[in-house]
Amino acid sequence: MLRKIGLLLLLTICLGTAKAQVLETYSHQAEYGFSVGLGHYFGDLNTGMQINRPKFSGGIFFRKQINNYVGVKIAGNYTFLAYSDVYSNNPTERQRNLSFNTDVWEMSVSGDFNFFNFVPGFEEYRFTPYVSLGLGIFSFDPYAYLGGSKYLLRPIGTEGQGSALYPSKKPYSPIAICIPFGVGMKYALNEKSNVFGEISYRFTNTDYLDDVSGTYAPDAFPPLPNGNASPGFLLQDRSYETGTSIGIKGRQRGNSSQKDAFITIQVGMSFNIQSYLCPKY
């Protein structure tokens, strides 16, 4: 009996040693892949942080593995964001009646940390949750529709930006910085490919994703030569479409003390770059 137990222990040790030697010779070097999903905006037109108007989002990435736990990811993402005051639960915001659409093109560098040892191709190490934190740069250019025509809002300066009447109000930049923070899970289908799901929240340094931040400046938009209101005047305050206009000069139009943000929820597939190291004797 003792002999059998001894042989079983010896076999277990040998198998463990052999497996460890295989793991030591395997190197999970990198991954590249793609993801698709949904994006959502939070800001002056969505102060209640509702997730009720998601839009398309997608991206590609390359991740260099430092080891089985830590990696550095370079990613490119596209997200379409849009929202309107008509979706708000706040009566004042619904009366304000502003809206926007924008394409967001983003490049980022992030550090990823796997909670579990992740080694594609090995049954015990094929799954892990992970977290991600990085720094990105993105472009945006909000626009809205009036009478069936599309108008870019930044050149108009809907809060008086660029007007001689408001020299302190400068046009905002269409380029901004973001800090993407993500959580996700990934699963290795085999040694060559993985599937994953990730939720990533972007903190940004701009309050103009939606073109809304400061105060109304209706006097920055004189009438057209024929006496009609200019498109800029009609776009800077659209409360006239819901009733009495609220766009009085100097009245708060948005909340400049809080930056805008957006979130993406994506699923994707990645492909592994691996190598086997020569054992050392």
Share of the chain above pLDDT 90, in %: 84
Q: Answer yes or no: is pLDDT of 10 > 60.
A: no
pLDDT digits (tens, 9 = 90+) for 242-280: 998 999 999 999 999 999 999 999 999 999 998 765 555
Residue 219 CA to residue 123 CA, distance in Å, equals 68
DSSP state of 220: G
| Confidence at 73, pLDDT banded by 50, 70, 90 | very high
CA distances from 237 to 155, 178, 205, 216, 231 (A): 16, 29, 25, 8, 10
Decide if 278 contacts 25 (C-beta within 8 A).
yes
Return the pLDDT at 18.
38
Listing DSSP states for 132-151 in one string gives EEEEEEEE---EEEETTEEE
Residue 65 pLDDT: 94
CA atoms of 50 and 117, how far apart (whole Å): 36
Q: Residue 2: which H helix or E strand, with range?
A: helix 2-25
Over the stretch 134-152, which tens digit does the pLDDT of each residue have?
999 999 999 999 999 999 9
**What pLDDT is stored for residue 2 in this prediction?**
47
The percent of residues in the chain predicted with pLDDT above 70, rounded, is 88
Domains along the sequence of the chain with CATH: 30-276 (2.40.160.20)
Is the model's pLDDT at 173 over the cut of 50? yes
- pLDDT for 6 equals 44
User: Using CA atoms, how far apart are residues 260 and 107, in angstroms rounded to an integer?
Assistant: 18
Report whether pLDDT(12) > 90: no
Range 197-203 average pLDDT? 98
Global pTM reads 0.88
